[in-house]
Amino acid sequence: MFVQNILERLDAGEIVIGDGGFVFALEKRGYVKAGPWTPEAAAEHPEAVRQLHREFLRAGSNVMQTFTFYASDDKLENRGNAQRFTGTQINEAACDLAREVANEGDAMVAGGVSQTPSYLSCKCEDEVKGIFKRQLDVFVKKNVDFMIAEYFEHVEEAEWAVQVLKTSGKPVCASLCIGPDGDLNGVSPGDCAVRLVKAGANIVGINCHFDPMTCVKTVKMMKEGVEKAGLKAHYMVQPLAFHTPDCNCQGFIDLPEFPFGLEPRILTRWDMHKYAREAFNVGIRFIGGCCGFEPYHIRAVAEELATERGCLPAASEKHGNWGAGLEMHTKPWVRARARRDYWEKLKPASGRPRCPSMSTPDSWGVTKGHADLMQHKEATSQEELKPLFEKAKASH
């Protein structure tokens, strides 16, 4: 099957729907360990990864992103994270699975790299770039359709990743996990975007760490910066599926609920309609999701933009428009909810009367170069943990 290049699609004004948050989704399903968040499931449990790809494809995704988040050699070996598979084996398995499912529909395969422990530990540019190059070698061998450098807190490291990925000759996306305040060194979203475009990125944007509306706002700032600099780019957004109005510059990882108590913050499918429309209205055309996004969230994005895209996803066969399927419910008061205005105006309750609506982020304020962020292969020791526990207790 011939599948158009992502730049051809975007240049033609098409909307490209991304997929969702594989790491969080597979952790909940029992295939990823919270903490290291590494993707060895691509080699250990390919059936689980394949099935999730298929669910996102059915929900409307045009991009099968290789499950290679945190699949760099240094991350796979970090802090005692023992592996049965090499980084190359994991990256190759992820590429094969993504391609297999992409070929079942009108989808492209994106090879992805992300931030590294080596950068946080102040390793040199050549060493960090060498890590990206080892992943890139697999993506080139497997002939993915385009590249994504995603989940970068520091624009400098993202620039290095883009420079490496650009040597493939494939289109390159660069996605930072920052908010309106900029990266962790205080570089503004607009300036970050300009630097990424100058490094060679064709598509720039935001993923993870913040809720959809915050991410859309930040991409809008990036777009304004690029246009002011007289440059051109396409734009992408792949946010969290969690409400994060109380987050600081570190995003949801600073919330006390991260990562095991976030469920009360999950966006509804109807929230996703609002997100998709807002992203489209500000000129973003690559629209997907990150942590917390399940296939039904992506289906909602595809349904909201069905008129512009000229089609509904296959999964809409089992989903009535704006709750229309409830017309078939046995209970009359539930049948009365089969209408758009009901779901658009609903203010969902949490069912937790003693819980606050917002939290106080931890705000430790440490980033690259701080002693607490120096990484190593050995397992974290009790001696290392003790002062962290004490600091955490003192801060609450």
Q: Please give the annotated binding residues for Zn(2+), written as ranges.
A: 208, 290-291
- CA angle, 135 then 138 then 139, to 5°: 90
CA atoms of 286 and 279, how far apart (whole Å): 9
- DSSP character at residue 381: P
Q: What DSSP string describes 246-271?
A: T--TTGGGGSTTTTTT-GGGBPPHHH
- Contact partners, residue 36, CB within 8 Å, separation at least 6: 70, 75, 78, 79, 81
Maximal C-alpha separation, the chain: 66
Is the Cα torsion angle 296, 55, 48, 149 positive or negative in sign?
A: negative
**Contact, 1 vs 18, CB < 8 A?**
no
CA atoms of 393 and 376, how far apart (whole Å): 25
**Contact, 200 vs 163, CB < 8 A?**
yes
- Strands of 92-171 (E only): list them: 108-113, 146-152
Say whether 234 sits in a helix, a strand or coil: strand
Known binding residues? 208, 290-291
Cα of 168 vs its chain's centroid, Å? 22
- Contact partners, residue 268, CB within 8 Å, separation at least 6: 346, 348
**Contact, 108 vs 72, CB < 8 A?**
no
- DSSP character at residue 243: -
Pair of tokens at residue 326: 């409830």
CA atoms of 89 and 332, how far apart (whole Å): 55
Helix or strand holding residue 196 (H, E): helix 189-199
**Contact, 59 vs 317, CB < 8 A?**
no
CA atoms of 247 and 239, how far apart (whole Å): 14
